[in-house]
Each structure stands twice: as C-alpha cells, then as structure tokens.
A = this chain, B = another copy of it.
Amino acid sequence: MDERERDPRPIGIFDSGVGGLTVLAELARRFPGESFIYLGDTARVPYGAKSARTVERYTLQAASFLLNKGVKAMVAACNTASALGLAALRAAEPHLPVLGVIQPGCRAAVATTRSHRVGVIGTRSTVASGAYPDALALLEPRIRAVALACPLFVPLAEEGWLDHPATRLIVAESLAPLRHEGVDALILGCTHYPLLAPIIAEVMGEGVALVDSASAVADELEQRFIDVILPAPEGRPQRMDYLVTDIPDRFVEMARRILPGLPVHGVEMVDL
C-alpha cells in the first residue's frame, strides 16, 4: 500500500474506566504503526449494574466525543458497553468501523472448547443482556453456554485484593454454580477479570482454559479492518492520548498497578 493512502488518524478505545487498558496494551503492541486515543468514563464507572438504556446513552456520548477527536475506528473495550451499547452505536454511525470485545472473545472460546460447553463470567448487566450466549450460538450452534454474573470481582480487582484468602473464598463461592457444568473454556467477560486469573484458574482447575479477549480483539481488528490500520511502523513515534471523565490521579495510579509497562501520562480530563 502506498504511504500516501494510509490513514494517519488514531483508533479510539472506549472503556468505562481503567480495565480497557489491557486491550489498549495488546493493540499498541500488535500495531506499532498506529496511534490511539483511550477514553475512560471514570466519573461514571462502573457500568456493570446500570441499565441497557443508560449504558447505550453513555456509549453514544463516548463515541460522539471520540469522533470529534478525529478517530478512524473505534473499539469498545468494555464488555458491558459492547453488550448493551454497540447496536445503537452502529445504527448511529453506520460508516464508522466499530469493534466490541464480545465476538472476538466468543471466537477464541469456540476455537478452544472441545466439550462444546463454555462458561462466561461478567458483570450483572453483561450477563443479563445474553450477548455472549447469543454470539456463541451464532458461531457454533452446538455450544452450550453457561453465563454467570460475578459482581464482586471488579471491586476486588480495583482495590488490589488480587491474592487474598477473602478473594479466594469469594471467587470459589461465586464460581461454584459453574463447577459441575462440564465447561472446558471460561470466557473472562470483563476487562478487570484477567487480574484475578490466577485465582480463577486455581478454582476452576486444570481442565478449564481461561479465554481473555485482549488478543482476540487484536486478531479481529487485523482481519476485519485491515484497510484502516497501519500494520508497519512508519518511523514516527506511536502516539497515545488518554482522556478520562474524572480527575486523572487515581486512573494513573491504577494504570501503573495494572500495566506497569504501559506509559500512562499526559492524561486529560474531559466532559462527555
């Protein structure tokens, strides 16, 4: 492709807060020629117990804000926004390449499972939406999906109780309904959950593969939007901008804890 044809505009990544940085880190690593604008709606986090209507409204506001910033494509890194807000966003912006985290996660799970029994854990709203079982059934009708809300996992991860006996008790009790379902793949359907992956893996046992959507999203972005991304470095430094809706301090502190390798600075506070 000729250099002049490439679209230099950044890719927008939207999340309810800090969790989507796991997706940003993977995309930045995979597409070093791309620039990114990350928007975290930290004033209104968490989305996981909010209604479909509210999450839809917040998603449209975020997308409209990122479009005004000149993004060429958008990734909804938040599972709840992907489950509840994406249809409205696609209807409102039919020409914008938009990717959520649910389909990529489901594709990875389908490629992993042999028993055709797939577990999904997520926030209350993500699970209530039925988005994961629906997408799994579309991809592979033989799959039996068992979805379970784990509402305490986000606060435990956010507060850094990653390796504590109380966390172990809560994870074990929360996942108990999945233990006798014969699942051999478990989708971590919330960007915070990978932080608890060691305990989740221990509780589920060796026969269950954990599916994290970050690398699946990168695969899907490459396959579906190859025309908009810049696959090779261009000699210019990769640019990353961070926008948040509440004051940046805690966002920066949590980002450093979650992703020590990701340079998070120059975070700007914005009003959607």
| A51-B151 contact, Cβ under 8 Å, with A44-B43, A165-B169, A169-B166 | no
Could you write out 10 A-B pairs with CB less than 8 Å apart?
Answer: A43-B50, A43-B54, A51-B247, A54-B245, A54-B247, A151-B159, A152-B155, A152-B161, A155-B155, A166-B169
A17 — nearest CB in chain B belongs to which residue? B49
Chain B residues, Cβ within 8 Å of A154: 155
- In the complex, which residues 138-180 of chain A have their Cβ closer than 8 Å to any Cβ of chain B? 151-152, 154-156, 158-159, 161, 164-167, 169-170, 173
A53 within 8 A of B: yes
- Report whether A155 and B166 are in contact in the complex, using a CB–CB cutoff of 8 Å: no
- Tally of this chain's copies: 2
- Report whether A53 and B159 are in contact in the complex, using a CB–CB cutoff of 8 Å: no
Chain B residues, Cβ within 8 Å of A220: none
Interface residue range, chain A: 20 to 34
A170 to B50, CA, bound (A): 26
Mark contacts of A197-217 with chain B using CB atoms, 8 A cut-off: 1 yes-contact digit, 0 otherwise: 000000000000000000000
Chain B residues, Cβ within 8 Å of A165: 169
* Cβ-defined partner of A151 (8 Å) among B44, B155, B164, B173: B155
A136 to B158, CA, bound (A): 31
